[in-house]
């Protein structure tokens, strides 16, 4: 397929958060958002990153912002990596269950083994989340993996689907692969997407890997689903792809389609579906969801100076197409 026709609109999207520095390695993004009917508001999770060696380096902080209009975002909560005794935090997501309690899913480097893990925290109010109450949800070793991170949640017919970025071992994987505390940045694994399902947000069934790299194309190292958009009776996934670990942190967006959320057909085998015009071309972590009569995209993309910013674009749902 060719590049998505919505690419110019994404590049011209509203700037909602800027990085804390003006060069490569400073990012703001990894967004995950949800609409809450009770509060009549959306909650946006995102992380702030600095280069290695610039404290608090890597993913040093994760925040939650609240908006009622998708124009003004007010930060209402934050957590620092030290509160998890972790080297880095990455993507998170948030959802209120039918019991009225919020679940905050996040991912960070586990201090005991240097592998990415995914956790859950419950609260009655977003602003009162207590990091000390965080519990492990998925660890790498329990599923024979090298890392589990970047949760994204959707509900279909009362079943919750949690997509996760996972590191699969290869012939080059060894114990020392975790010495950098980020195996995804070593080339000693491949980055794939796994799925877990639940009917209550607390008890999860591991479904296994549903999308993984293959062949020798532009996304032969990484295929990480960031969000899934139901459209015309099918499910369209925006995934981050890369050719190798040298493009880690600078992934580009691909598109895949499925009828059951488990079997995926890649629609962008010959190249990315969306690109930033700057430096690496990275436009990643798209979270696209339909709310009312609009489809809202929130995403991270590279600037001319190599830093990453976060933007938002709105589209009318009626007649919306990715063709």
Show Cβ contacts of residue 41 under 8 Å, excluding neighbours closer than 6 positions: 35, 66, 67, 68
Q: What is the reported pLDDT for 323?
A: 79
Instruction: State the residue range of the domain holding 241.
Output: 7-316
For a pLDDT cut of 90, what percent of the chain falls above it? 99
pLDDT of 144 above 80: yes
Q: What is the mean pLDDT of residues 15-42?
A: 98
- Does pLDDT of 294 surpass 90? yes
The pLDDT value given to residue 221: 98
Q: What number is the average pLDDT over the span 63-73?
A: 98
Taking only the tens place, the pLDDT of each residue in 173-201 is 999 999 999 999 999 999 999 999 999 99
* Average pLDDT rounded to a whole number, residues 16-39: 98
* Secondary structure (DSSP) of 80-148: EGGGGT-S-EEEEEEEE-TTS-EEEEEEEE-TTTS-EEEEEEEESSGGG--GGG-EEEE-TGGGT-SEE
Backbone angles phi, psi at 108, to 5 degrees: -155, 170
Whose CA is closest to 314, among 19, 2, 25, 12?
A: 12
Rounded Cα distance between 259 and 261, Å, is: 6
- Residue range 286-309: mean pLDDT, rounded: 98
- Tell me if 323 is assigned to some domain: no
pLDDT computed for residue 2 by the predictor: 79
pLDDT beyond 80 at 1: no
User: Given this model, what pLDDT does residue 80 score?
Assistant: 98
The CATH number of residue 250's host domain is 2.115.10.20
Taking the C-alpha atoms of residue 253 and residue 163, their distance in angstroms, rounded to an integer, is 16
* pLDDT surpasses 80 at 29: yes
Tens-place pLDDT, residues 238-258: 999 999 999 999 999 999 999
* Cα separations in angstroms, 108 against 37, 84, 167: 29, 8, 14
pTM exceeding 0.95: yes
Question: Has residue 322 been placed in a domain?
Answer: no
| Tokens encoding 322 | 């990715």
N-term to C-term CA, the chain: 8
| 127: in domain | yes
Any domain includes 2: no
User: CA 31, 33, 39, 40 torsion: positive or negative?
Assistant: positive
Average pLDDT over the chain, rounded to whole? 97
> What phi-psi label fits residue 40: left (phi over 0), alpha (psi between -120 and 50 degrees) or beta?
left
Q: Is residue 1 a part of any domain in this protein?
A: no
Residue 288 has pLDDT above 90, yes or no: yes
The reply to whether 139 falls in a domain is: yes
d(CA 322, CA 255): 9
Tell me the average pLDDT across 72-98: 98
Write the Ramachandran bin of 135: left for phi over 0, alpha for psi from -120 to 50, otherwise beta.
beta
- The tally of domains found in the chain comes to 1
Within a domain: 146? yes
Residue 292: predicted pLDDT:
96
Q: Is residue 193 part of a domain?
A: yes
Name which of 263, 179, 282 is nearest 222 in CA terms: 282
């Amino acid at each position: 397929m060719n590049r998505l026709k919505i690419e110019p609109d994404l590049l011209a999207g509203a700037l909602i958060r800027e990085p804390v520095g003006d060069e490569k390695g400073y990012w703001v993004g990894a967004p995950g958002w949800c609409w809450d009917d009770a509060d009549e508001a959306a909650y946006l999770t995102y992380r702030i990153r600095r280069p290695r060696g610039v404290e608090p380096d890597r993913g040093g902080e994760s925040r939650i912002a609240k908006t009622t209009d998708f124009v003004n975002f007010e930060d209402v909560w934050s957590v620092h990596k030290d509160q998890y005794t972790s080297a880095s935090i990455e993507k998170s997501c948030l959802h209120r269950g039918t019991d009225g309690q919020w679940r905050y899913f996040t991912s960070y480097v586990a201090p005991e083994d240097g592998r990415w893990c995914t956790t859950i925290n419950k609260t009655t109010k977003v602003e009162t989340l207590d990091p000390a109450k965080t519990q492990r949800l998925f660890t790498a070793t329990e599923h024979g993996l090298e890392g589990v991170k970047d949760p994204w949640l959707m509900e279909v017919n009362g079943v919750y689907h949690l997509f996760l970025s996972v590191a699969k071992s290869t012939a080059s994987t060894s114990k020392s692969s975790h010495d950098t505390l980020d195996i995804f940045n070593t080339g000693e694994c491949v980055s794939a997407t796994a799925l877990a399902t639940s009917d209550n947000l607390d008890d999860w069934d591991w479904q296994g890997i549903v999308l993984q790299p293959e062949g020798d194309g532009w996304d032969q190292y990484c295929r990480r689903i960031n969000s899934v958009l139901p459209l015309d009776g099918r499910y369209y996934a925006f995934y981050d792809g890369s050719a190798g670990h040298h493009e880690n942190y600078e992934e580009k967006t691909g598109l895949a389609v499925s009828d059951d959320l488990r079997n995926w057909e890649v629609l962008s085998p010959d190249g990315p579906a969306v690109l930033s015009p700057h430096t690496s071309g990275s436009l990643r972590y798209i979270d696209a969801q339909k709310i009312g009569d609009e489809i809202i995209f929130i995403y991270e993309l590279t600037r001319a100076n190599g830093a990453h910013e976060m933007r938002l674009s709105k589209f009318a749902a009626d007649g919306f197409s990715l063709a």
